[in-house]
Amino acid sequence: MAFKMRCPKCESFDYSVERDNRTFGAVAQAFELVYHCRCGKQMFGEQLVKEYERQKKAYESTSSASDVALDPGPPLEELEEVAELRGRLESRRRLVEDRQREAAEQQIRQREEEDRRWRARVQESSREVVTTPPPIDGAGVADQECAWPGCTKPRRSNSKYCTRACSNKNARARHKARQKKSKKSKSAAA
């Protein structure tokens, strides 16, 4: 594993080392370096280089050939616990899969039952005889004329008039007649 410097204050790796923008030079030199950590620690220039070298020496002295040897691994008890947990997780996973499969099968059965009921209702309704009621009068509505006096066009279905224009003419005429009638009654009462 390669060496990486830690923050001397908080021991984290979450820091940045930048070059001071106020200095000019083609190659970064030690006095241009600025160290910032999230904990608030700041170091500049030679102080940063000295801290780096101190930590690197400590790292190299503690890491030796004996540390590189194979790690014996976790104890047997931990391995047994892990195996037991894996077995539990596997049985839980199988149980969840079985429940999901049963729920899906139940939904399919329910849809098939609803479809069967719907088909039975459709079949029953197709057996019933549907009769269309006869027209109101034997010839139908088309033979009757518009209700507006002076119009000889055939009327529309569900209406007394041939067009909306004839209907509006009738409404205006009735309104005018009411206005005349109310003026006569007011003048007679006065």
Residues 21 and 47 in one domain: yes
The Cα–Cα gap between 65 and 70 comes to: 10
Whether residue 134 is contained in a domain is answered as: no
Does the residue 42 lie in any domain?
yes
Query: Is position 8 within any domain?
Result: no
pTM of the prediction? 0.31
Q: Of all residues in the chain, what percent carry a pLDDT higher than 70?
A: 79
Domain assignment of residue 137, yes or no: no
| Residue-wise pLDDT tens digits, 12-37 | 777 877 777 666 666 666 667 788 88
Let me know if residue 35 belongs to a domain: yes
Residue the block writes with tokens 């790292």: 59
pLDDT of residue 40: 82
What are the C-alpha distances in Å from 7 to residues 15, 17, 36, 48, 112? 7, 11, 9, 10, 67
Residue 4 located in a structural domain: no
User: First vs last Cα of the chain: how many Å apart?
Assistant: 116
At 153, list the tokens: 């066009």
Average pLDDT, the chain: 81
Question: Can you give the residue range of the structural domain that contains 117?
Answer: 77-124
For tokens 């947990």, the residue is 85
Residues whose CB falls within 8 Å of the CB of residue 56, separated by 6 or more in sequence, listed in order: 3, 5
Question: Would 2 be classed as within a structural domain?
Answer: no
Q: What is the number of domains present in the chain?
A: 3
Do 41 and 14 form a contact (C-beta atoms < 8 A)? no
- Strand 42-44 versus strand 33-37 pairing type: antiparallel
Q: Is 20 within 8 Å of 34 (Cβ atoms)?
A: yes
pLDDT, tens digit (0-9, with 9 covering 90-100), for 96-148: 999 999 999 999 999 999 999 999 988 888 776 666 665 555 455 556 889 88
Residue-level pLDDT at 138: 47
Structure tokens at 122: 């459709």
